[in-house]
A and B are shown apart, each in its own frame.
Chain A
């Protein structure tokens, strides 16, 4: 079964660092880019950025550039999203998703279950 499995919910304090993960299985992990999407409580979906796991090429939304770091470890089929210093405004559900191939015009066909991040003092 093709799937993305994300790490569990996190509760952190402002200023703390955090790294969440997204592990792919059932397909060639390096053949598909991975995207990260944020959903703040009660709000819509926001595209954060994307990584090519085969060479770690990344692109970020201007809204998230410099605020987070996206990385990947192809040896363990895992992509990461990390913060060096969390803010209260980073609260939300974070999804990873697989960007499918050119035939689908790069739709996101497989999604992780989401990781809830809570930031509170």
Chain B
């Protein structure tokens, strides 16, 4: 199985800050990577697919980059609604796997 490791596990930041979350795959996955946002009591929401493509309707302050084994999700200027938990997920091969999540908290 491909292991996905996110860092940090949690981060505190303020409105307006720039935040970067990283995700590392245990083997090469090309750009078969997606990022999701999860808020309490709600289903996860797709933010980024194919490592760097913005899902329709997602604000442009979200961006993704990377290929191979190392990936990043960047939020350029945090808004109050961005405080949530973020997950990366690989779809290179079965079983698909998620990272353990990064909780973004208000400082």
Contact = CB atoms under 8 A, between A and B. Distances in A.
Interface of A: 35, 37, 44-47, 49-50, 59-63, 95, 97, 99-100, 103-109, 111-114
Q: Which 7 A-B pairs have the closest CB atoms?
A: A107-B49, A106-B91, A107-B34, A111-B43, A61-B95, A104-B49, A105-B50
Nearest to A96: B43
B8 interface: no
Interface string B17-53: 0000000000000011110101000011110011101
A100 to B, nearest CB: 7
Given A45-B87, A62-B1, A107 B50 contact: yes
Contacts of A105: 31-34, 49-51, 91
A106 B91 CA distance: 6
Contacts of A63: 95
B11 to A, nearest CB: 16
B31 to A, nearest CB: 6
B71 interface: no
Residue from B49, B94, B95, B100 whose CB has the most chain A CB atoms within 10 Å:
B95
Contacts of B89: 45, 47, 107-108
A47 B98 contact: yes
Contact of B46 (A45, A46, A109, A113): A109
Given A95-B43, A108-B44, 17 more contacts: A37-B44, A37-B98, A44-B99, A45-B87, A45-B101, A46-B98, A49-B95, A50-B96, A62-B95, A97-B44, A104-B53, A105-B51, A108-B46, A108-B89, A109-B49, A109-B55, A112-B43
